[in-house]
Amino acid sequence: MAAEGQRVVLITGCSSGIGLAIAVMLARDERKRYYVLATMRDLKRKDKLVEAAGDAYGKTLSLLTLDVCSDESVKQCVNSIKDRHIDILINNAGVGLVGPVEAISLDNMKQVFETNFFGVVRMIKEVMPDMKRRRSGHIMVISSVLGLHGVAFNDVYSASKFATEGLCEALAIQLLQFNVKVSMIEPGPVNTEFELKLMTEVSKKEFAGADPETLHHFRTCYLPTQVNLFKGLGQTPEDIAKVTKKVIESPRPPFRNLTNPLYTPIVALKYADETRSLSVHTFYHMLYNLGGVMHVSVRIMKFLSFGWLRRRAISPT
């Protein structure tokens, strides 16, 4: 149970990756300011988290079962918390989907929205009314840079994150009145099981229904570019956890939070040209014309972003 003065943090999808890293970092806070309710669909998958939490497990971190796709599970989980009191809700659970749209079933697409969008809606609907009543709270979402700009062959995943960004941007305005804050964390590539699982699945798939030319672009341009981006620019789950903790501890938590400085100018491209043609054409060239030299471009971009650009980043916010 949370001690006097500790802030109760509920995090979804903590059995791996970013959720696990955030849970551990907050639970191991030197000043013990947080009591973490780390949730996952199946507690049989708790071992990695328990091991990483070390002696924080049972003291500042406890586990609960929660499936963001089930109304009943969400209700049961929140009702099991003392006074239903949650100070910070971190919506992290998410699934990816990659491939040509014409080869993906509508059921598969709906499943992505069910987790990435309706999962967040379900959690917010359950937790927000109590926060409003208490006039205090912070709702966070692990979104993505793909929620700010579309990336080829990630169409449905991007759409699910755009939808979440839209929902939260509208809520952020209403909730200011109730002293409830809303923040989006927008990572670029992060090396977790998420991408590994996706790439393994994708490399085995046939994508029936897609024409040979599209499949050729997908396999020879998109996939190698992705691998290079993750290798060259991928952050660690701990990097994302650090940004998340910093946002939580900020006296005025920003709404939008890119975690990778390289993406600041890429996102700013959209705001520099109201027709959005500039970003569409830039992404086109990056994918189809620069694919072959991507590993070199990634190194140059990395050098620039961590030196000159980091100090002079143009921010859409």
Q: What residue ranges bind ligand NAD (CB under 6 A)?
A: 12-13, 15-19, 41, 66-69, 92-95, 115, 119, 142, 144, 187, 189-190, 192-195
Annotated binding-site positions for substrate: 144
Annotated binding-site positions for NADP(+): 13-41, 67, 161
3-state secondary structure of 9: strand
Radius of gyration, CA atoms only, the chain: 20
Whole-angstrom distance, CA of residue 253 vs CA of residue 144: 17
Please name the residues in contact with 261: beta carbons below 8 A apart, sequence gap of 6 or more: 305, 306, 309, 310, 313
The minimum distance between CB 71 and ligand NAD, in angstroms, equals 12
The minimum distance between CB 65 and ligand NAD, in angstroms, equals 9
Closer residue to ligand NAD (CB): 193 or 211: 193
C-beta of residue 244 within 8 angstroms of C-beta of residue 22: yes
Cα 28 off chain centre by: 21
Closer residue to ligand NAD (CB): 40 or 210: 40
Closer residue to ligand NAD (CB): 8 or 123: 123
Token representation of residue 248: 């939580």
Closer residue to ligand NAD (CB): 169 or 273: 169
Closer residue to ligand NAD (CB): 236 or 282: 236
Annotated binding-site positions: 13-41, 67, 144, 161
The yes-or-no answer on residue 157 being catalytic is: yes
The minimum distance between CB 256 and ligand NAD, in angstroms, equals 14
Of 184, 15, 218, which is closest to residue 99 (Cα–Cα)?
218
C-beta of residue 156 within 8 angstroms of C-beta of residue 198: no
Angle at 257 between CA 70 and CA 248, to 5 degrees: 70
Which residue among the candidates 157, 222, 263, 271 is catalytic per the annotation?
157
C-beta of residue 315 within 8 angstroms of C-beta of residue 255: no
The minimum distance between CB 79 and ligand NAD, in angstroms, equals 17
What are the Cα distances from residue 207, in Å, to 103, 295, 315? 5, 27, 38
Going through 130-211 in order, the beta strands assigned E by DSSP cover 137-142, 180-186
The minimum distance between CB 296 and ligand NAD, in angstroms, equals 22
- Indicate which residues carry an active-site annotation: 157
